[in-house]
Amino acid sequence: MNPATIAFVGLGGNVGDAAATLREALSALDRLPDTRQLRASRLYRTPAWGRVEQADFVNAAVKLETRLDARGLLDALLEVERQFGRERDDAQLRWGPRTLDLDLLLFGEGAIDEPGLRVPHPHLHERAFALVPLVEIEPEVVIPGHGTARSALAAVAARGIEALP
């Protein structure tokens, strides 16, 4: 059995009742095999990023302890996305609307660069919508190559991001 590893996952969506979807997805993540949820952020309404002509997103982050390896956790995340109606394909608009997006932000303390799996998430240090909830649950977590989440957030604009009640 693999040793336990701390992983951070970003959640987002902007189709349908995104807040309800993220709450249900957090429960689904807590049921993953050999994985337990340690802490989840609040939900945040965030402006669309990349393709701005779409509805605002709801975003969150969760800290997990898992015995899955990074590829196994990523596969489990993709399966949860499918369960919530997300279909990833080449024809899908990049940064477009989605029911649920689960991104493996950090896995342990190292970096992974394999086909289809890059950790830390390649743009984590640039995206306030991912950093705000991450900083809420673990401000001093280190983003390899970029310093702490708190320092990364201080370097980006976080306008328009608000916690949901």
Q: What is the pLDDT of residues 132-151, one digit of tens each?
A: 999 999 999 999 999 999 99
- Which amino acids are annotated catalytic? 86, 98, 101, 103
The residue ranges of every structural domain in the chain are 5-163
**The pLDDT of residue 50:** 64
Q: How far is CA 86 from CA 15, 78, 120, 147, in A?
A: 10, 9, 22, 32
Cis amide leading into 120 (omega within 30): yes
Residues 6+ apart with CB under 8 A from 158: 128, 131, 132
Read off the pTM: 0.93
Whether the predicted pLDDT of 88 surpasses 70? no
Of residues 22, 4, 34, the one with CA closest to residue 62: 22
Say if domain 5-163 classifies as CATH 3.40.50.720. Answer: no
Element (DSSP H or E) covering residue 147: strand 147-148
What is the distance between the alpha carbons of residues 9 and 143, in angstroms, rounded to a whole number? 13
